[in-house]
């Protein structure tokens, strides 16, 4: 889904959106949480449709620019660790828009 060869990964939070019914890749994005702005991440998180599988992984620093709103939106996807994510922590997560429970796929 994502790789340096595909040129769709970068520093910060890397995300892939997958259709929960068909398995089709819908979109990939990365958000620089060290030198970038959190606003595009928040906008992107709000645009995710119900039933979408959301895959996230950090590279380098995924936490410095995260604010309470961004963390809340990620928690709504099923994350329990996002509230504790700190500077240069490694984090991988698989959740979903509209999930009713917490995701067991997080480390």
Global model pTM greater than 0.85: yes
Contact between residue 35 and residue 59 where contact means Cβ atoms under 8 Å apart: no
- Tens of pLDDT along 17-41? 999 999 999 999 999 999 999 999 9
Q: In this model, does residue 91 exceed pLDDT 90?
A: yes
- End-to-end Cα separation, the chain, in angstroms: 19
Place of tokens 């709103």: 69
| Contact indicator for 40, 15 with CB cutoff of 8 Å | no
Residue-wise pLDDT tens digits, 40-66: 999 999 999 999 999 999 999 999 999
Q: In this structure, what token pair is assigned to residue 7?
A: 């040129």
Distance CA 76, CA 7 (A): 28
């Amino acid at each position: 889904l994502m790789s340096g060869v595909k040129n769709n990964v970068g520093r910060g939070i890397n995300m892939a959106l997958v259709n929960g019914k068909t398995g089709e890749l819908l979109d990939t994005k990365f958000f620089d949480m060290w030198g970038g702005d959190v606003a595009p991440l928040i906008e992107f998180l709000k645009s995710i449709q119900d039933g979408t599988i959301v895959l996230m992984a950090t590279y380098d620093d995924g936490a410095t620019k995260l604010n309470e709103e961004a963390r809340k939106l990620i928690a709504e996807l099923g994350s329990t660790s996002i509230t504790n994510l700190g500077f240069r922590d490694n984090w991988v997560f698989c959740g979903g828009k509209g999930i009713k429970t917490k995701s067991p796929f997080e480390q």
